[in-house]
Structure 1
Amino acid sequence: MKHLLPSLLLGSLLGPAFAAQAQTTPAPAETQAVKQTITNFFDGMRRGDSTMVRSTLAPGAVFHALGAKPGQATTLEIENISGFLKSVGTPHPAIYDERVQFERVLIDANLASVWAPYEFYLGSKFSHCGYDSFQLVKLAGGWKIAHVIDTRRKEKCK
């Protein structure tokens, strides 16, 4: 019994650590499904298809941006999703082309978090860069974007 107690104690301490690690190593199919939702979001932007973009969003989705003007403090800006969708769907001279790389995808059950560096172009002209942080939820219709927050800058891109 003396030898069993330390083993049980060690197991109870290490068990959650191993479980947490397993939760951050998603199945390849789930990872691909999460990435596909984000890819569809940006494909819709490039096509000017607000219906396609909207189909990737969870009800009540929220967009934030961290902004800073030279010499001013960083601010947290809330983006109006209806305004964003209207902007995407209204004909504009240059394609909205956000190019993301999937640096990290974490999934636990029906929640996913994606960390993705990006560069944004208006047509072929570079506009800005930064990182997107996506929170997705798996609903009856599949993975949907619930929250996006990003940084924006014109230099020191990845």
Structure 2
Amino acid sequence: MKLPYILSAALLLLTSGAHAQTASAETELVKTTIRTFFEGMRKGDSTLVRSTLAPGAVFHTIAAKNGQTQLRPENPSAFVKMVGTPHKEVYDERITFDKVLIDANLASVWTPYEFYLGSTFSHCGYNSFQLVKLADGWKIAHVIDTRRKDKCK
């Protein structure tokens, strides 16, 4: 009588282990897309940045003006063009991965960051990425961030 319970428990453990490995692999693929986005920024490689974006991607930033919170849209095409336009200083956004959540073909990623122009600190904040898994892999569909000069961590 105990054998069916033991087999059921073993099957459950094997299934959950396989799910954990799949989830871990997907998490790494999502992180790779975001790392590639920032690698393209650092290299000034607009093609590399563009390769990480889903068609119709949307960018926003949250800013304060006169003590009021504002949601400002940013043009992804203009951003990609800016990255690829020759510039003196390296655009260096240093991130860490705080949270990565995945459900099916949707990923949500939270990354604190510090942004440097070359070696000079510019600003800091948090990025929130929404990614979608398309036929050619995980792509960034939406980025929204905060920006400030102090209280970075």
TM-score by length of 1: 0.82
Q: What is the rounded CA distance, in whole Å, between the counterparts of 1:80 and 1:109 in structure 2?
A: 28
Q: Does 1:34 align with 2:30?
A: yes
User: What number of residue pairs does the alignment pair up?
Assistant: 135
Q: Does 1:116 align with 2:111?
A: yes
1:61 is matched with: 57
Q: Does 1:73 align with 2:75?
A: no
Q: What is the rounded CA distance, in whole Å, between the counterparts of 2:111 and 2:73 in structure 1?
A: 20
State the shift of 1:72 in Å: 3.0
Runs of 4+ with >6 A deviation? none
Q: Which amino acid aligns with 1:130?
A: G
Instruction: Give per-residue Cα distances to partners, 1:44-102, cap 9 Å, x unaligned.
Output: 00000000000000000000000113x33111000011111111000000000000100
Instruction: Give per-residue Cα distances to partners, 1:107-133, cap 9 Å, x unaligned.
Output: 000000000100000000000000000
2:40 is matched with: 44
User: Which residue of the other structure, out of 53, 76, 83, is the alignment partner of 1:88?
Assistant: 83
TM-score by length of 2: 0.85
% identical aligned pairs: 72
1:144 is matched with: 139
Q: What is the rounded CA distance, in whole Å, between the counterparts of 2:120 and 2:22 in structure 1?
A: 36
Query: Could you tell me whether the CA contact under 8 Å between 1:63 and 1:79 is conserved in 2?
Result: yes
Q: Counterpart of 1:40 in 2: which secondary structure?
A: helix
CA RMSD of aligned residues (A): 1.7
